[in-house]
Amino acid sequence: MKPIFFIGFMGVGKTTIGKRLGDVLNLPVIDMDHYIESIEKSAIKDIFLQHGESYFRDLETKVLFELESEEAIITTGGGVVERKANRDFLRQNDSVFHLTCSFDVLWERLEGDENRPLVQNNSKDKLSDLFEHRFPLYEEGSSVTIHTDHKSVDEVVQTILPYIES
């Protein structure tokens, strides 16, 4: 079995839904950001501060390709689609789920989150622009788009399961 990937903007529920799906399917869940933090022995926000976004994106691409053979659910960081090589890699996999919701719902979830460098360093308008910029990139790298607006975690998981079982 190939890995199941979750992609999407920060705050759409990749980690939460990935964990629940992992419980349902009895599969391990690998959060790429946590994986990178364990390799670097540093928090993502500190990696950004000390080395910059380009360094972090290099790590992210390396880890994405390393995890290709894992029988697991892999939750990616929101910017994984910024690199074409990553989108091309993801598109080759059958189980890449783009989780999304309206920006207003996202903003409610993200506002004031001190653990996300992009939230700390940008206004609502700039994040909205980034969301609009990345949306087609997520679509390009995914096989299925799932809307999470006003749905419970279990409802989203039930929406995903038929795609995995087929």
Per-residue pLDDT of 110-120, as tens digits, reads: 776 666 666 66
For the question of whether the overall pTM of this predicted structure is more than 0.85, the answer is yes
Domain ranges for the chain, please list them: 4-156
Average pLDDT over residues 132-147: 95
DSSP state of 121: T
> What span, in angstroms and rounded, lies between the C-alpha atoms of 114 and 121?
10
Torsion angle in degrees (nearest 10) through CA of 35, 37, 43, 47: -120
Contact between residue 95 and residue 3 where contact means Cβ atoms under 8 Å apart? yes
pLDDT digits (tens, 9 = 90+) for 7-19: 999 889 999 999 9
Q: Model confidence at 106, in pLDDT bands (50, 70, 90)?
A: confident
Topology of domain 4-156 in CATH is Rossmann fold (3.40.50)
> What span, in angstroms and rounded, lies between the C-alpha atoms of 137 and 84?
9
pLDDT of residue 21: 97
User: Under DSSP, is residue 2 helix (H, G, I), strand (E, B) or coil?
Assistant: coil
pLDDT digits (tens, 9 = 90+) for 51-105: 998 999 999 999 999 999 999 999 999 999 999 999 999 999 889 999 999 999 8
